[in-house]
Structure 1
Amino acid sequence: MKTIKCIIVDDEPLAVSLLENYIREMPSLELIFSAENPVDALEYIRNNTADLIFLDIQMPELSGINFMKIVGDKMKYILTTAYSEYALEGYDHNIVDYLLKPISFERFSKSVEKAQVRFPLNTPEQKHFFVKSSGQQHRIYFEDILYVESIRDYVNVKTAKEEFIVLDTLKSMEQQLPENSFIRIHKSFIVNLNHIKTIGAKKIIVHPEHEIPIGESYKMNFLNRIK
């Protein structure tokens, strides 16, 4: 998984602080710079590279719309504002998403999912990723994962020796895992094909003895994959 390098540009200190905290909760994001003055952000961008900018639309020094006109399409944007009337104008600039303040973490997470689709996250060379669990970042190798289970607003990343409860969605996790090794077989489960021990009509056994149900809507795709 490629980590998405993020910048925050917002003239409100509380808004910057909120987004900084949200970004720290997302293993797929890395905050590399934040600024309350868009001119400072422009200076940073001239000398550094980033992938995604969380950008306030209405700022006194320079509006978010004009900011995008200066920076151009070399970066992607998620716009933030307290004024819904700016939404349509923002979408004219081919942005990823639009967040209306106050921004909840749930809405922020959905916006990040949209961003992840726009970046080539899975590469053949990538053998691990990092997840945040119990306040710490943990390196997990893809080959060690047995399955991933959705548990309400969290996912459980299960390996043979450990499990990690992560604040994330199963859809987001699916996008971060290598497609050649993992498949979703149920609305609540993604499994590692390399750890499947036996396959039944309605369930599989993942090594050593973990029973995982097969959802009817996922069954045909799963059976085609294992052939």
Structure 2
Amino acid sequence: MKRIKCIVVDDEPLAVSLLGSYVEKIPFFELVFSTENPIEALEYIRKNEADLIFLDIQMSELTGINFMKIVGDKMKYILTTAYAEYALEGYEHNVIDYLLKPITFDRFQKSALKAQERFPNETSQNSYFFIKSSGQQHKINFDEILYVESIKDYVSIKTENQEYIVLDTLKSLERQLSDRFTRIHKSFIVNVDKIIRINPKTISLLSEIEIPMGETYKSDFFLKLKS
């Protein structure tokens, strides 16, 4: 699996440490360099490959805006700042998102998903992902999942031995799942590898679990099976 190579640049040591720990929790991110010195970051980029920079806008030695002007559009950026008014200027550059300090992991995850959409080739082969359920981060392998169900403002992820309730949308989770998953109903996504029988109006999964199949999703579902 090729992952998005990330750099963290912030002149506050605690911010560098926090963002670095967040990056390492995202399965499709790889932390390749972090520093409190933007000049060191420029030197690293000159000699090494990277994809995405978490960049503080307000740094005393070199502002984030000037940093982006030097590096240019060969990199993508997620800006971090304690001042909301500075964020708008960053959108003139190749910026995916901005994070307003103090940065929570939930907010960081949303930025990570935005980045994932901008690097589809790098993240398409994930075999697992992380979700937050019951106040904890859980690593779930795709091949463990039977189906995903939308329940009002929540999503239920059902494995053979466990159920995880997540505050999220079905559409958001669908973007994170591998290509072995397909939507068969407005409220259900199933793991194609877990199907044991296809009925006229339902699909049977392992453990004889039956999932309704919506008419509007049938054609895409059968195309998925052929592929």
Instruction: Name the TM tier (shorter chain).
Output: 0.7 to 0.9
Q: Is the 8 A contact 1:155 1:168 kept in 2?
A: no
Q: Is the 8 A contact 1:148 1:156 kept in 2?
A: yes
5+ unaligned residues in a row in structure 1: which ranges?
Answer: none
Decide whether aligned partners of structure 1 residues 81 and 29 sit closer, same or farther in structure 2, where only a CA change above 3 A counts.
same
Question: After superposition, what is the alpha-carbon deviation per residue over 1:71-113, rounded to whole angstroms, capped at 9, x for unaligned?
Answer: 1111110011011111221001131011111122222111111
- What is residue 208 of structure 2 aligned with on the other side? 209
Q: Is the 8 A contact 2:184 2:221 kept in 1?
A: no
Question: After superposition, what is the alpha-carbon deviation per residue over 1:188-215, rounded to whole angstroms, capped at 9, x for unaligned?
Answer: 643122332334576422124233355x
- What is residue 129 of structure 1 aligned with on the other side? 127
TM-score, normalization: structure 1?
A: 0.76
Q: Is the 8 A contact 2:145 2:157 kept in 1?
A: no
Q: Is the 8 A contact 1:3 1:121 kept in 2?
A: no
Q: Is the 8 A contact 1:196 1:205 kept in 2?
A: yes
Decide whether aligned partners of structure 1 residues 89 and 9 sit closer, same or farther in structure 2, where only a CA change above 3 A counts.
same
Range that drifts further, 79-88 or 166-175: 166-175
TM-score, normalization: structure 2?
A: 0.76
Decide whether aligned partners of structure 1 residues 24 and 17 sit closer, same or farther in structure 2, where only a CA change above 3 A counts.
same
Question: After superposition, what is the alpha-carbon deviation per residue over 1:3-23, rounded to whole angstroms, capped at 9, x for unaligned?
Answer: 211111011122222212222
The one-letter code sitting in structure 1 at the alignment partner of 2:216 is M
- What is residue 82 of structure 2 aligned with on the other side? 82
Displacement of 1:116 after TM fit?
A: 0.7
Question: After superposition, what is the alpha-carbon deviation per residue over 1:104-140, rounded to whole angstroms, capped at 9, x for unaligned?
Answer: 222211111111110124788x4x52445888977x4
The one-letter code sitting in structure 2 at the alignment partner of 1:30 is E
The one-letter code sitting in structure 1 at the alignment partner of 2:7 is I
Partner of 1:96: helix, strand, or coil? strand
RMSD, aligned CA:
3.4
The one-letter code sitting in structure 2 at the alignment partner of 1:225 is F
The whole-number CA distance in structure 2 between the counterparts of 1:191 and 1:92 is 40
1:225 aligns to 2:224 (yes or no):
no
The whole-number CA distance in structure 2 between the counterparts of 1:107 and 1:65 is 22
Listed as ranges, the matches of 1:6-155 within 5 Å are 6-121=6-121, 126=125, 129-131=127-129, 140=141, 145-148=145-148
The one-letter code sitting in structure 1 at the alignment partner of 2:42 is L
Displacement of 1:53 after TM fit?
A: 0.7
The whole-number CA distance in structure 2 between the counterparts of 1:212 and 1:108 is 33
Decide whether aligned partners of structure 1 residues 40 and 56 sit closer, same or farther in structure 2, where only a CA change above 3 A counts.
same
Displacement of 1:222 after TM fit?
A: 3.9
Decide whether aligned partners of structure 1 residues 202 and 58 sit closer, same or farther in structure 2, where only a CA change above 3 A counts.
farther
Question: After superposition, what is the alpha-carbon deviation per residue over 1:132-174, rounded to whole angstroms, capped at 9, x for unaligned?
Answer: 5888977x4x66654346798887473x6x6696989655553
The whole-number CA distance in structure 2 between the counterparts of 1:65 and 1:9 is 12
Displacement of 1:185 after TM fit?
A: 3.3
Q: Is the 8 A contact 1:196 1:204 kept in 2?
A: yes
The whole-number CA distance in structure 1 between the counterparts of 2:44 and 2:217 is 46
5+ unaligned residues in a row in structure 2: which ranges?
Answer: none
1:191 aligns to 2:177 (yes or no):
no
Q: Is the 8 A contact 1:4 1:28 kept in 2?
A: yes
Displacement of 1:187 after TM fit?
A: 6.0
The one-letter code sitting in structure 1 at the alignment partner of 2:191 is N
Partner of 1:41: helix, strand, or coil? helix
The whole-number CA distance in structure 2 between the counterparts of 1:177 and 1:198 is 22
Partner of 2:27: helix, strand, or coil? coil
Displacement of 1:58 after TM fit?
A: 0.6
